[in-house]
Structure 1
Amino acid sequence: MIIDLTGIRDGTGPARLLDMVEGRSKQAFKTWLTERPQAWRDAVEVVAMDGFTGFKTAATEELPDAVTVMDPFHVVRLAGDALDACRRRVQQAIHGHRDRKDDPLYRARRTLHTGADLLTVEQCQRLNALFDGDDHVQVEATWGVYQRMITAYREPDRARGRELMTTLIESVSSAVPAVLTEVVTLGRTLRKRADDVLAYFDRPGTSNGPTEAINGRLEHLRGSVLGFRNLTNYIARSLLESGGFRPRLHPGLG
């Protein structure tokens, strides 16, 4: 899906669906961009995207003057996935089995993903008990990285938030103990996409959130019609549903 976020940025209306392309690949997006008029491409200022590098490459090649921004939701999810992977690895190493409902690490999985500023007293006590001792020190270290990322995004001062994120990226990109394999991998990704991650703080509000909202509407559409067998019809109906068109009665019906 290609979404136009201009209305949200300018405060003139909601996001709208521009088009739908079959396939999730660099070439699919690149081909779509090359089919747009040059004047249209020159007018694109910002491209919000998830972590898929194919979209980044296509946008850089076809929209060289546009700023690419990695959506905060997907950046935080990278850190959250690293935290989950670390928790499961430590769980397996300590207990010799996968997650079970009575295991402390498994029971704390949702609490670990809660921002530190939103933790209840009970949740704080649970985490303190979880991190007491050395058994879960790797989880605690990875959790700390996750919390620092959330803090950076929640910082109301954008300049300060950018500074916090820059420091975080630098700290997880070098001198990380090899035992923290998930943090090492996260640091490698953040270092590679640092410009895209930090660009968000210069352009607050640039997000893929509207894309997810439109996708939800299209899921409802697919359910209402019990599915589509023809891609062309699906795209046409989707554009009518979320393309920002204003319904008008035929003059003869007025």
Structure 2
Amino acid sequence: MSIARVTEALAVAWNTANDAVLAEGKRMLINDPARLDAVTAVGVDEHVWRHTKAGDKYVTVIIDLTGIRDGTGPACLLDMVQGRSKQAFKTWLAEREQSWRQAVEVVAMGGFTGFKSAASEELPEAVTVMDPFHVVRLAGAALDRCRRRVQQEIHGHRGRAGDPLCTARRSLHTRTGLLTGKQQARLQALFAAEEHVEVEVTWGVYQRVITAYRDPDRARGRQVMRQVIESISAGVPEALGEVITLGRTLKKRAAEVLAYSQRPGTSNGPTEAINGCLERLRGSALGFRNLTNYIAR
């Protein structure tokens, strides 16, 4: 038998075995109605399943957070659907039974407004929560943009080794209670220069956001977060463009941001953790081109 015939025979055998595995996996796992039982808390986020220019690279990942919220077990993957859009999540929710949708009490999500709109339309009784990870990331991104802008205005180039703003970039993102003596001295020297005042103000907002979430008293933390949102939503000097943008975003999503303090265990952290597991799967099998195969695995 020629090599070509052997190769062809092996390809046919592999495809047959693969189809059988996918069919059985779909029957036992994906089509098992019991896997959706007793779900009261849902997490949703996007995931990049392939880093190529061809085709849609995003999927929407839907997670059961009930076990985490109730302290009865880990989070688990409910489904992955192609695309990252309001319609992708909305369609998935609409396909669930009415009784299931009525049982969902909380939906945790990031900053993508499409997921918020889909949840509000299909799960009107559920509370939407913007988890701390994404809120802190928004504040951190505003700090980074401010630092880079001031760096460019002062030095006329991007940060280089030896530039104070470049050297302090990690210290700026460290919570004040965790700063080493060296980092504290670095920040004090940085903020002593009047030309860095905009960075200092933005850094202060970032630290206040972290403080609100770290407060062991949830009611007090909620009040601190409310004060932060109110203070940066109006009356901010035009020079602090990054803070103004952050204030607009947080004011628009204030209800979801503040809802976290009244919904313990509804962080989207477990969703990010499962995304990390999916990243490892993708990294160990770079040949994935078929989304059905990827979702099944």
TM-score, with structure 1 as normaliser: 0.91
Deviation at 1:150, TM superposition (A): 0.5
Structure 1 CA distance for aligned equivalents of residues 96 and 141 of structure 2: 36
Superposed, which structure 2 residues align to 1:218-229 within 5 Å? Answer: 218-229=278-289
Structure 2 CA distance for aligned equivalents of residues 227 and 71 of structure 1: 33
Q: How many residues align?
A: 237
Deviating above 6 A after TM superposition, structure 1's stretches of 4 or more consecutive aligned residues are none
Superposed, which structure 2 residues align to 1:1-254 within 5 Å? Answer: 1-237=61-297
Letter in 1 for 2:126: A
Deviation at 1:98, TM superposition (A): 1.0
Structure 2 CA distance for aligned equivalents of residues 224 and 87 of structure 1: 36
Write the deviation string for residues 112-165 of structure 1: whole angstroms up to 9, x where unpaired.
000011111111111110000311000000000000000000000000000000
Structure 1 CA distance for aligned equivalents of residues 287 and 254 of structure 2: 40
Write the deviation string for residues 55-90 of structure 1: whole angstroms up to 9, x where unpaired.
000000110000000010000000000000000000
Letter in 2 for 1:213: A
Deviation at 1:213, TM superposition (A): 1.2
Gaps of 5+ in 1: 238-254
TM-score, with structure 2 as normaliser: 0.78
Structure 2 CA distance for aligned equivalents of residues 180 and 224 of structure 1: 44
Which has more strand, going by share of residues? 2
Residue equivalent to 1:240: none
Tell me if the contact between 2:90 and 2:118 (Cα under 8 Å) persists in the aligned partners.
yes
Structure 2 CA distance for aligned equivalents of residues 128 and 205 of structure 1: 37
Q: Give the RMSD, CA atoms, in angstroms.
A: 0.9
Percent of paired sites with the same residue: 76
Deviation at 1:215, TM superposition (A): 1.4
SS in 2 for 1:48: strand
Write the deviation string for residues 86-107 of structure 1: whole angstroms up to 9, x where unpaired.
0000000101111112110000
Tell me if the contact between 2:69 and 2:264 (Cα under 8 Å) persists in the aligned partners.
no
Q: Using CA pairs below 8 Å that are at least 6 residues apart, which structure has the higher relative contact order?
A: 1
SS in 2 for 1:131: helix
Letter in 1 for 2:193: G
Deviation at 1:222, TM superposition (A): 2.5
Write the deviation string for residues 177-211 of structure 1: whole angstroms up to 9, x where unpaired.
01100000000000000000000000122111111
Larger-Rg structure? 2
Letter in 2 for 1:32: W
